[in-house]
């Protein structure tokens, strides 16, 4: 993809709306986007990687507030590496807890489904002796 993208092109490439992209810029998730002579936003190709990472964080349930904190730390450079790692580690720990809860719930559902299957099998033999 070329290195100078319109907001429409970025929206198509990322699946985010132009409104969401403007919102992300306004709240600081995206660094200020360059503009062309007509004042229209022009995104760099590297912005797509950052947007993809933001989408990944969002899909894993990271609150926008924490995403903004991470984005601000990132803009502040290498002196914030430890703070960024800690923020991501805390979120990673929450994601792992959620995965464990989902696995536990899935096991309960699986057991209930198996039980109902066994009950149906038993009921079908009772109602229709062979």
DSSP state of 3: S
DSSP state of 78: G
d(CA 86, CA 71): 14
Pick the CATH number of 1-62 from 1.10.1660.10, 1.10.110.30, 1.10.287.4070, 3.30.1370.60: 1.10.1660.10
- Give residue for tokens 């960024």: 84
C-alpha closest to that of 50 among 82, 28, 18: 28
Structure tokens at 51: 């947007």
Q: Is there a contact between 57 and 67 (Cβ–Cβ < 8 Å)? A: yes
- Give residue for tokens 């994601």: 95
The pLDDT value given to residue 36: 87
Structure tokens at 29: 């998730």
Torsion of CA 2, 21, 25, 65, to 10 degrees: -130
pLDDT (tens place) for every residue of the chain, 130 residues total = 456 899 999 999 999 999 999 999 999 999 989 898 888 899 998 899 999 999 999 999 999 999 999 999 999 999 999 999 999 999 999 999 999 999 999 999 999 999 999 999 888 887 666 5
Torsion of CA 94, 95, 99, 104, to 10 degrees: 10
The pLDDT value given to residue 1: 44
Structure tokens at 48: 């797509």
Structure tokens at 97: 């807890």
């Amino acid at each position: 993809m070329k290195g100078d993208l319109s907001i429409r092109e970025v929206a198509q490439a990322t699946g985010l709306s132009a409104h969401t992209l403007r919102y992300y810029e306004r709240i600081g998730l995206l660094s200020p986007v360059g503009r062309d002579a007509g004042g229209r936003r022009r995104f760099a190709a590297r912005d797509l990687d950052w947007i993809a990472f933001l989408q990944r964080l969002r899909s894993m349930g990271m609150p926008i507030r924490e995403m903004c904190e991470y984005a601000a730390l990132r803009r502040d450079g290498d002196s914030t590496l430890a703070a960024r790692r800690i923020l991501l580690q805390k979120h990673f720990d929450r994601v792992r807890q959620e995965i464990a809860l989902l696995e536990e719930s899935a096991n309960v559902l699986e057991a209930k489904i198996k039980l109902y299957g066994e009950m149906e099998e038993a009921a079908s033999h009772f109602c229709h002796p062979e």
